[in-house]
Every structure is written in C-alpha cells, then in structure tokens.
Chain A
C-alpha cells in the first residue's frame, strides 16, 4: 500500500458527498495484511466520487496495479465483438470451458461497501426490470437469494451459478456482506450461457460462459447481451458509471477499465511444471488461478488462465490476448507431450 502518513493526514478530514471516508476506503486492507496467491489492492471505493476525492491515495495504487497507468491516461472501451480475430478454434481436448465476466455499477447509487438497504433494493428492482426486457437467446429468469425454493437452489448449485454469502475477509471487512441476503439474486438465460449476479461484490456482474473452447462465441454473446442491458438502463435514465480516464467504475480498483476477466479452464499438466511457465504467462500478460477461482490453487494440472490487465487496454484487446496466449500454450503443451523443446516458442513481452 502506498499510504504514507502525509497522504493519510491530507485525506483524513475529507469525505465523499455520501459520507465515505479514507478510513472506510482502507479498512479491508488494514484488516487483511496479505493473500497467499495474489497481491491484493487493500482498498475499495464506496461510490463513484471515491476515485476523485481520494485520488491522492488511489491514483498511485491504480498506477501500481495497472502497469504504470497515469492520472492523465485515457482508457478505450471496445465492445465490438467482430474486432476479435480467431478464438473459435481452441482445442477442446485441452480447453474445457471458456468464460468472460465483467462488472457494472449503476450511476447515482453508492457501491456495495457503503450502500444502504434502500439503494440495494432499488438496484435489484432496476436490474430485474432491465433483464426482463431481454429476448431470444437472452430470455431468462431472476432468482432472488431470499425466496428461492430448495429445488431452485439445488439446480443453481449444480449449474455452478449460485454465489454464496461472501466469507472472504477481503469482502466482509469492506462491509459488502451487510444485510445478506437482502436484494441479492441471480439471473440467467434459459440456455444457461449468460448470467448476471445482482449485488454481490459489484452492483452487477455479467458473465458469459460455455463448455469447450469457442471463446469467439462466448465473447459475442457477452458483448451483445451487455450492450442490450446497458441500452435498457439508459432508457430509464440510469446509465452505468463510466468515464474516459477510468473506464467502467467498480468497487475494487483492480477492476477499473474493462472490469473484464476473460479466461479458460485449460489442461496444462506439463507446461505448468516447466521452469519458464510463470515467465511465459507474464510475457503473454496472462494470470493463472485454481479452477475454484481467485482464492484457490490448481488441481490436477487444470488451470484457470485469464487476462492480467483491466485498465489501459480495451475488451477486445484483452480477450485477444487470452485467445492468442492460450492457443500458444496449448501448442507448447502438445510439444512437451512429445518431449520436444519449446525454447523457440517462448514469446516476447507483450
């Protein structure tokens, strides 16, 4: 953390219009000294204005977290799926599933660390209304956490859709589990390939996913669905929080920009034990996680591989990096299976 005494003293007396203070921003970081697998941010935003009022603290953190992103830099948004090259030919013998997620915050409301029950309920209401207008491949149903039947709950668990009350102290210490399960819920389309979480770590988390390696299709559905949802919110005078410096504004500074994590579950038992695995990932601007998500380790050589960047490059750029990088790593895995060297395949730093 970059919180010096000087910066703390400067920011101590300030608060956002909704009353969020620097102590509120940093509480989760004070209470959670470190994470075993990933360097955590240690800060959250309570509202859109947090990023402005506390820029003396958050700008250096953003720069640190997002590869030197400067306060004067501009972020590009590109949700035109046709700009993605390839992505429909990842080998399903290795790539087990493909997924793209992002978050969206509804302008005019405070964020999960700070919002009141009334705000959260209104966010839920607006989200239900917006999602109910979707049709065709996006026709679906909303399941409020408070009120689903046991049968619905079991089905959502089997589909791996149900999110639990947060137990991670990174989230609970930031106040995001308050009033659980009030106004929390899950919406998904009938085909179970497009999913929205309401009022978990962000106002909305939007997820497109399917078995196999057709990331192109996953991304098409992602962009199409997201833009339809945004259109409906805008019609009702509730846009998403976005600005040309920070892109989409979300609770955790690590998710600014695109808020996008595009990834695959991929079998790389040989490559993952290769001495250069970490370096390859770094050069490809990719990140590994266990298949249980951010708080888990890998099991059986299957990894969750996704983009490391969020801010300073577009959605298309980031998914392109995943598509190209995973394709290369699967090719490397195949070489290693034949006991051949991969030294001439090691990529340059992107």
Chain B
C-alpha cells in the first residue's frame, strides 16, 4: 500500500457535551436540542444502513473463504491412508486475499472476517500486523498471545490456570503451541456434549488455526520465510491455515518468497469487490433514495467523489465525509430542524418560533418564491406566521414529491445514457446525478449529443430500455407515474406492432428486389434504380423512426419536468447541504500553505494585536522561528549563517530601541545567539533547510520561492 496509516481515531462520541456545543453557538430559540437529536438519529440510521450494505457486499467473498477453510481441513482428515496422500507433501493451505489499494478500509474487512470465521469455522484466529512483527520472535509472541487468549474468550472462566500463565513464561516455540492445541482440543472432546452442544456443533473436533497476515507486503521476507518453514514442519500436528491480506497484486507472493518456500504453500486466490463498485453501491443506497431526508448538494458530492477517485479509494473516508456533512448541516443551518421525515416535519412546522419563521423568510429560495406570488399573498407570507407555516408545509410536501420523482426519472435517464457510445453523460449514475444537481441538464451540450445518439438506437435496444424504465417506474414510490407507465407500455406495444408490419413490408421489398433481378434491358434497369434512389432520399421517415423520435421526445419531456436542479426548488436549503468550501477545508488539508501562513503571518493563528503587521515589515515581537523564516525567504539557495545571524539580531534588537544601540557592538549577545540557533534547528526539523557541505558555514535552502 502507498498510504499513510492514520492512528485509529478515537470515536468522538457525540455526547451531551456536543449537544451543549450545538446550543451555545446558536441561541436557545433555534431548537438546538431538537436538531441535535434529529442529527443523531439520522446518522444512526445511515450508519446501520452502511453496515448492512458492507455486510452484503462482503458476503460472497466470505462465503468462498469459509468454504475454502472447510475444504482444506476436511480433506486432511478423511484420507490419510490413501497412497497419494502419503506421497504428496503436506502443503499449508493458504488464502491470498486481494483487497485493493485502499488499505485504510482493510481493518474493517478483517474485523468482520474474523467474526465470520469465529462463528462458522474456528475460535482460533490470530491477526498479525507487520509493524508488530519485526522479527520471527515477535511474530511468535504475538501469535501465541492471541491464540491462547482466544481460548479463554471462548470457554468460560473455568480454566483459571490458563489465564494466569503470563506471556513471558510461555516458551515461544511451536512445540508449546502444539501442546497447547492438543490440550485445548482434548478438552473440548472430553466435555459433556450436553453442556457444550452449541459450540462444539459449530466447530469440528479439531478446528483449524487461522493465521491472518493483515498486510502481507509489509512483512520482511525473512520473517515470512522462517514462519512458513516452521509451520510446514508441524503441519501434521497443527492444522494451520494462512490468510494473506494483499493490497497490490497476488504476484507479490512470488516476489517475496523464493520457490523453495512458496512450494510449501497451497495458495488459492480470493478477490474482494473493487472499491469503485463498492462506492457505487453506497451512493445508490444512501444518496439515490428518498429514505433519508438529508441530501448532498452537487458541489459537495463532487468534492467527496473527487477525494475518493483522486486521493484514496477509501469508502470509509467517503462515509466519514458524508457524516461530516450531516453534522455540519445540522450545526450551521437552524432550519435543519425540519430536515426529517415528512410527517414529523409538518408537525414541527406548526411549532416553529417566530425567529425560525424569520429564518425561513430570509432563505433566498423562499424570497424568490414570494416574489412570484400576487401582492396580497406576499404580504400575508411576510407578516403572518400562520400563513407562512401553512405554505411551508405545502412546499415541504412538494419538495418530498420532487425527490421521489427525481430519483425514478434519473434512473430512467441513466438507462438510456449508460448504453450510448462514448457515454456523453457519464457511465455511472453518480456522474449523471452530479450533472443534474449542478445545472439544468437539458441545456448542456452533452445532453444534446446524447439525445442525438439516442435517436439512432436500434429497435431491440430501445425495447429493452423501455422495459427497464417501466420496471423502474412501477417499483418507484412516486404516485404520478401511472400515466408514464401507461405511455411507455403503449410505446412497447407499438414496437411490437411494427415488428408484425415489418414482416409484411419485407415481403414487399423482397418482391421489388425480385423485380430487379428479372431480365430487363439496360434502360429499364437504370430507370428503376433511379426511382429507387429517389424514393430512398425523399422517403419519409419509416414508422419505426417516427416512433423512435416520439420515444426520445417523451423521455426528454420527462427530464425537463422532473430533473430540475434542486437549488431551483423552494426551501431546498433545509435539506440540501451545499457549502463545499467547509468540507474542502476539513478534508483536503493543505499543510504547506498552512505552514507558510503560520510562519509568514503569525497573527493569523496567534491573534495577538502586537503581531498585526502592516505592510511587509518583520515585527520583532513575532516568535523567533517566524523571524528566521521571513529572513530566509530573502536568501538564495545557499544561506550564509553569519549574515543570517546578523540580520536576526538586528531585527530582535530593534525592540530595545535606541537606548540599546550603545550596547550593541560587534559582539552578538549570547542569548540572541542561542535563540537563533534554536530557531534555525527548528526550521531544519520542519524541512526548510539542511546543512550543506558545499561551503563552510552555509546551509542549503530546500524550498523555492515564497510558496
């Protein structure tokens, strides 16, 4: 993997304290408490939904793995007497699990994997990470520690004596592991069946010991080799199974292990779903559904998707970003109290305070709406709260209906655009979704060209697409689509009719062809050919072509009706989160620029009035490192330390003013000298300079220009 491992973030529990934070910023009247509760319940819903999705997506992979583990074990037990089995060398069954480069997501996968294995196959699972296994000794320690603890987890507290053996006292060797395994399996055997029926029926009598290498690429070759060699010596006594977690490609096994070692393994490959497909599913289930009231605006969604595609491929980070959007929305938008299920929202509208009503009146989309009304209505909306509440309820309902319709029509349009050559509107539905949120999609060039392409679709394609659309509309929750479905079905029957007619027509055309083939003189032939050509040129569109135009026009009208961008809708601010800049600030950090600002303009972070620089001068009140940094910006590639020190002392001495002038001789004060050296070494630590061997008493600058 090529990613930085972030230290696992301590889940910041949104506790009561957070609720208080919500309240402090915005005053009590804006329903901070309610917003907080809504936010939390919404996030919990979404979280469980994503977990469910992930479970479903991994199911296939895990099922395969479980099957593999079962097989690897049972074959070993059944036919030990057979000739081939005696002759064959016992290989260690190994699963190569290719998980993709998004290493940050692997933890979760392994966690659920070990859960699945624990439930289905064996209680003996060890998860090894390269950073804790620098040598074979550490690896064995970790392995044995995990295995012997897991035994305690499974059995109840009866085996006190096992608990008390501290890790240091156990000899870290395979022999002690084997004797442990024997004692454990024997114990399970000897236990009365009635007592432990459930657990022993889940696992076999001698369940395999599964060792998972989480990040196989990071292990040193020697450790892996030694471990495999040791294991292969004892495979008869200890049914080991290895699982290699691989981020890049399975070829890495062969490049890490020499043939003499890899020949001890019996490797089978398992591949997880690609993370892009994973993301598509998440977007499909989280964003393109009317289930959740909260929506992402076009720009915000674009930011999240870009981070995924351009930076990390991590679905977890995508979900984290989504969570951030939710929290930010509920925190910053007072009206987000209405961002809940429609029924609740209507109730909440009734109990809105006057301030909140004013908030609604201030919404730009609402103002636009008011301007469109007749003057009496305008006055009523702007002055009477009750009238406003009534209208708000209606508008919210409109918005809800809009969402339901939007999703169905979007899917329908995607059916059409995803099969066009070159995909003018994008291959994935998320691209189409972004385009529709961004602007009125029918005004874009891409839409125009895709319509043109759609007008050239073949009949069979059109028919299958129409059938798909019918399915989408039938299964959608929107109520307005009965007519649409009818219309689409009508198209379909017309196509069928055409087919029947086409048979007859073909007969006609065949007959005319036959006429041509008849013996004629040259003149007649020329004449008939000309006629044919003429008729073809001026020929009116065939019935099929007419119908095709009709279908495309109909789809176009659907798009124009239903795929209006969200920010044209009144009250969209309540449910749409649109401040992409906040998100970018949080997720796309720019450390270089931040560092430069901090050093160049310390006021920006320290907020000390004395530091407020006017013009380009260097304040002597600034921290030493800032002064040194500012001075070094003026130098070239090599910096003379003596000159630098002198400049530094000049700047610092300016503080003391004219009375210090007398004292400042050629000698630089020791304290200033020390301060300078400390500041310079800090700069070196930050990577701005490094000692140079080209000239004595010079350091080399490692950055160019002033950012």
User: Do A and B bind?
Assistant: no
